[in-house]
Structures are given as C-alpha cells and as structure tokens.
Amino acid sequence: MNSIKSFFTLVLAILFTIVASSLNAQTYSKNGMVVSSNNSSSEVGAAILKKGGNAIDAAIATAFSLAVTHPSAGNIGGGGFIVFMNSEGKTTTIDFREKAPLAATNAMFLNKEGQLINGINHETAKAIGVPGTVAGLYLAHQKYGSLPWKDLIQPAVNQAKNGFAFNWSLFKAATHFTEEGNTNAFMDGYFRNEKGLIVQPGETWIQTELAETLTLIRDNGRDGFYKGKTAKKIAAFMKKNDGIITKKDLAKYEAIERKPIKGTYKGYDIYSMPPPSSGGVALIEMMNLMELADLKTMEFNSAEHLHVVAEAMRRAFADRAEHLGDPDFNLNMPLNKLISKEFAQQRFQEIDMNKASQSDSTQFGRLYDSENTTHLSTMDKDGNAVSMTYTLEYSYGSRLGSKELGFIFNNEMGDFNPQAGVTKSNGQIGTAPNLVEPEKRMLSSMTPTIVGKNGKPYLVIGSPGGRTIINTVFQTVLNVLEFEMPVDKAIEALKIHHQWLPDYIVYEKHLLSPDTRKVLEAKGHTLRERNNMGALMGITYDAEKKIFTGASDSAQPDSGAVGY
Ligand code: DON
C-alpha cells in the first residue's frame, strides 16, 4: 500500500515539475501562479514568488517586465487597475487610470464648427493622458508589497539592458510600423538594432534607453518617473510635439485606492473594478440577469442561451453609456441601483425570449476600441490574489515616444466622449459623465475580477479587448461558475459580444452552426463574424487541496502560465 502511495506521490511530483511552466495550456502548481501575456514575464513573477514575494510583488515585477517584453500594451506610459483579495477574502482595488492634463478642455478635440477633428483624440500628442502605471504599482507596493521595491524592478532592467529573444508578435509589429504609411519618427526607430536594421525573430532585442528609465524608477520609486530627469524629458517631448502634459501634471498625479464593486452569483462573491472602469458595474449587472435566466434548462451556446446573454449585454452597455464616468467628477452615479438584484428583476422583465430588443440609436452607443491591453493574474502560496489589467489604449498606444526615454505613451484621451451631446448609431457617445475635464479619468472597460468562494479567492481573471473585455470576462466567469468548466476551457470557449450600439451580435468564428444562426436571425438579431475576442489570463485555486490551476489564452501565442 505504501509503495502504491509513494508511486503516486512520485507521479504527482513529476507532473508538477513538468507542467509548472507551460505556454497556452493548463498549468498546475502548489505554491503560487503567475499568468501573463508573455511567458518570460510570467517567469519573472514566479521567480519573485519563489524568493518569498507575495502576489502583489509578483504582479509588480511581471508588470514592469511586460513593459519590456510586451510593449504593445505592457507599459510605464499608460494606466490600469488592480483588484487585490488577500487570503482572508479582504478585497481592495488600486486605480491608476490616466488623467486628463490640467490644460484639457471639453472642446479640445473639436474644430471651430464644433465637429470632431478626425484622429485628433487617438493619433496626436493631445491624445496622451497623464500616465498612471508607475504611481499605481508604487502605491500597491507601499500598501501591500513585501519584498524591496528594487528587487521587483531589477528583472525588467535586466531584460531591457541585456535583451531578450525578439518574438514573432514583435516582428510582425516591427514590419508593420516600418512600412510606408504606418510609421513616424519614433516607431520607425523603435524596433531597429544598433546597425539600424529591423530586429529579426530570435535576435536579442536590447532597449538601452528603457533600461535607463527603469533604473531611475528602481532607484527613486515613483519620483523616478514623475519628477527629475524623466519628468523633464516627458515635458520637453510634449512641448515639442504639441502635447499638453506639463511637469505639474506629472507631479500631481496620484493613484487611488478604491472600494471594489461587489456582487454575488449563486453563492459566489464577485469583486471587480468600480468606476472609472465600467467593467465591474456591467459585469455584476449581467451576472444578476443571468441568475434570473434559467440557464440550466438551455443547451450551452444554443440560440436561446446566446439570445438571453446578448440581451443582458445590450442592457448593461446602455446603462454604462448613460451613467458611468470618473467617480470623482460624477458624485451621484446610481451604482448601487445598477448592481442591485431588484434592478435586475426590472431589467429582466424587458427581455423577450422570442424577440431581440432594438437599441435606440438616438440615445446610446459607441464604436469599438482597438484591442490592445494586457491582463495578468497572480496568486501566492498563502492564497492572496491579484487581478491586474493595464493598457496604452491602442496597440502601441499613441505610437509616440521619445528615443531618450525608450517607452511609448498612451492615447487614452480617446476614451473620453469627444463631443458633448452627440451620440451616433455607429456609435460615438456624447453623454455628460464621460466628457473631458481637467484632471478627470476617462471611462474604461477594463474588468480585472476576482471571484471568492467561501470567503477566499477562487477565480482570478481578466482580459484585453476594448469594450469586448467586459463581455469576455462575463462569459468566462459564467463558464466557470454556471457551466462548471475548468479555467482553460472557460477561457478557450468561443464567445459573443453585444455593446448596445452598434446593434448587432459579434461572434467568434465557428461558434454558430447554420441552424443557430437562423434561429437568432429569426428573433431579430443581426450577426457579425470575427476571428477572435480577448486574451484571458486566469487562475483558479482549490483552497482545500491547495492547488493552483493557471491558463493563458491561445489567442496570445507568447503568453504563459508559470507556477512553482
Ligand atoms: O480602458 C479601456 O477600456 C480601453 N482603453 C482599453 C483598450 C483596449 O482594451 C484595447 N485592447 N485590447
């Protein structure tokens, strides 16, 4: 009997060793887990856990590393959110969303006739919001970190200074940004080696100037970014390029700790990001609606199931457009109402199971965002959990930066409603809560989420994807909690997206059979196919067996879950 037991122990030990780090597959571990968009950055985070760091330390180290290895979205020039739940279930969030500069105005993107100037809020230095990432990670460390700050930045400094193997995603971006028509002075030089040639796949990519900027942050904390040499160079860049961020904007930037948005679903507790993200509110509203839908009687991905999911999305996105913005500027947002079970009852009554509702184009709606943001999830041996999403907005943000700083600035000002009162069916939104104001944070869709079971972290999840973030996180949470899928299956399952306006369901290729499509069309839905949505990075934790399961989305081939 004993020998059988030791045989199984040996098999388990081998299993943990073999799968403790893997690309795009389910990974198990006993002492902690890091999942991110770049496997070598996940390894950086896991090494911090091994050193005795906690989930916050691992998230900080992974995030700085992603600023080197995954610069399309990993950043120090952007912003984002952390949801943190400790092993006892105590939960908080850190808001490090970018802010509008002091000189920003409500009409800054309009011409003399009051019309939106094409591209100005996405493709110029005026699109850059005051970056929040360094302040956010610094605040997280001060409040909840355990290892010295320097130890968390050093791996990123090493990756930038000594280089790492250039991957195919970077190479694809490099060829894109050096093609005629897609380039600017900064992006043209960004992916070139010291000989002036585009770095090739497998070649070591060294980012000397980024290493220098990261070293200043390593040695001076947040002041290494918001004051001194870095701030001076940022302000000089803005002046030269018609941007409006000043040294004063940088010095004034503060990350903020905020109370999470909390909801429940059939006995689970769901914690997510409050405004200035719309993610948490919309997620809880949709989960409440799903509690009222009799999902167990519906075949998974049947027309009936997808119809009720799409109708929930339509309503949550309409409410998002109408009510949400920066809470420091919108003191009376009806958050408690929107996430209440009573409101869900009322909203649920409006859903006709036989017929799609019509989104009213005279009221709300908004265009898709581009799709480059990045999510990371970490858990440590004690069961503390971090769910963090951060972004530059577009892939490679504003595509603007200075060679001497070595990093790219966000174009997050494009997340504000650009033109007061103008809401189009295509659909730009013009509602008041998210209009530009000095020092205001622009509304986000990022939805870093932690689900608690019996008062402890159970599922840690999030995704990039612009507005689709809310819906891919929603369906993944539903897949785990309602359909009892393991986290990798829940992530990989094909998904739909509806965002009120434009009024159609977007579905991932191969999701709909011809029959299902027909039934949905007969109910009045318009359908649009799309290759992929989101890139989810998730962890589940079995608190009884003390086993972590990590999984990263195969949509991101360089991503990885690393445990130990
Ligand atoms: O904060 C937001 O909602 C957007 N700026 C996120 C952009 C995004 O997710 C793009 N890509 N995946």
- What residue's CA is closest to ligand 1, atom 2? 444
460 phi, psi to nearest 5 deg: -115, 125
Structure tokens at 199: 């770095």
- What residue's CA is closest to ligand 1, atom 9? 466
SS3 85: strand
Ligand 1 center from residue 96 Cα (angstroms): 14
Contact 246, 127 (CB under 8 A): no
- What residue's CA is closest to ligand 1, atom 5? 393
pLDDT at 8: 45
Residue 427 banded pLDDT, cuts 50, 70, 90 = low
User: Does residue 189 fall inside a structural domain?
Assistant: yes
Q: Do 404 and 312 sit in the same domain of this protein? A: no
Closest-lying ligand 1 atom to the alpha carbon of residue 442 = 1
pLDDT of residue 18 exceeding 70: no
Higher-confidence position of 157 and 3: 157
pLDDT of residue 365 exceeding 80: no
pLDDT of residue 15 exceeding 70: no
Closest-lying ligand 1 atom to the alpha carbon of residue 464 = 12
Q: Which of 133, 373, 374, 468 is catalytic?
A: 373
Ligand 1 center from residue 491 Cα (angstroms): 19
Q: Do 119 and 224 sit in the same domain of this protein? A: yes
Whole-number average pLDDT of the chain = 93
Domain of 496, in residue numbers: 258-370+445-563
Pocket test residue of 373, 390, 395 for ligand 1, highest count of atoms within 8 A of CB: 373
Contact 99, 430 (CB under 8 A): no
Closest Cα partner for 121 from 467, 476, 429?
A: 429
Q: Do 242 and 125 sit in the same domain of this protein? A: yes
pLDDT at 237: 97
Q: Do 53 and 163 sit in the same domain of this protein? A: yes
Residues 6+ apart with CB under 8 A from 355: 523, 524
Which residues does residue 496 pair with via DSSP β-bridges, in sequence order?
507
Give, in order, the Cα–Cα distances in Å from 298 to each of 126, 295, 554. Answer: 49, 5, 27
d(CA 360, CA 499) in angstroms, rounded, equals 12
pLDDT in tens, 137-178: 999 999 999 999 999 999 999 999 999 999 999 999 999 999
Q: Do 417 and 328 sit in the same domain of this protein? A: no
- What residue's CA is closest to ligand 1, atom 8? 466
pLDDT in tens, 465-522: 999 999 999 999 999 999 999 999 999 999 999 999 899 999 999 999 999 999 999 9
pLDDT in tens, 538-558: 999 999 999 999 999 999 999
Q: Do 266 and 159 sit in the same domain of this protein? A: no
Closest-lying ligand 1 atom to the alpha carbon of residue 412 = 5
SS3 170: helix
Ligand 1 center from residue 289 Cα (angstroms): 25
Ligand 1 center from residue 421 Cα (angstroms): 23
pLDDT at 428: 78
As a whole-number percent, the residues of the chain with pLDDT over 90 amount to: 89
pLDDT in tens, 189-231: 999 999 999 999 999 999 999 999 999 999 999 999 999 999 9
- What residue's CA is closest to ligand 1, atom 6? 466
Q: What is the CATH number of the domain that holds 528?
A: 3.60.20.40
Pocket test residue of 281, 320, 369 for ligand 1, highest count of atoms within 8 A of CB: 369
Q: Do 151 and 285 sit in the same domain of this protein? A: no
Q: How many domains does the structure of the chain reveal?
A: 2
Higher-confidence position of 27 and 368: 27
Average pLDDT value for residue range 279-301? 96
Pocket test residue of 75, 278, 398, 445 for ligand 1, highest count of atoms within 8 A of CB: 445
pLDDT of residue 361 exceeding 70: no
Contact 409, 71 (CB under 8 A): no
Q: Do 358 and 486 sit in the same domain of this protein? A: yes
pLDDT of residue 52 exceeding 90: yes
User: Does residue 11 fall inside a structural domain?
Assistant: no
Q: Which residue has the tokens 């991957």?
A: 167
User: Does residue 30 fall inside a structural domain?
Assistant: no
- What residue's CA is closest to ligand 1, atom 1? 444
pLDDT at 362: 58
User: Does residue 10 fall inside a structural domain?
Assistant: no
pLDDT in tens, 79-137: 999 999 999 999 999 999 999 999 999 999 999 999 999 999 999 999 999 999 999 99
Pocket test residue of 375, 393, 415, 536 for ligand 1, highest count of atoms within 8 A of CB: 393
Closest-lying ligand 1 atom to the alpha carbon of residue 394 = 10
pLDDT at 422: 87
Give the binding-site residues of ligand 1, using a 6 Å CB cut-off.
369-373, 391, 393, 412, 415, 444-446, 464-466, 469
User: Does residue 19 fall inside a structural domain?
Assistant: no
User: Does residue 540 fall inside a structural domain?
Assistant: yes
Ligand 1 center from residue 463 Cα (angstroms): 9
pLDDT of residue 424 exceeding 80: no
Q: How many degrees, rounded to 5, is the angle at CA 504 between CA 502 and CA 508?
A: 120
For the chain, how are helix, strand and coil distributed in percent, rounded to 5? 40, 20, 45
User: Does residue 304 fall inside a structural domain?
Assistant: yes
Ligand 1 center from residue 394 Cα (angstroms): 7
User: Does residue 453 fall inside a structural domain?
Assistant: yes
Average pLDDT value for residue range 5-19? 43
pTM: 0.95
Higher-confidence position of 241 and 9: 241
pLDDT in tens, 242-254: 999 999 999 999 9
SS (H, E, C) 35-80: EECCHHHHHHHHHHHHCCCCHHHHHHHHHHHHHHHCCCCCCCCCEE
Contact 441, 131 (CB under 8 A): no
Residue 431 bears catalytic tag? no
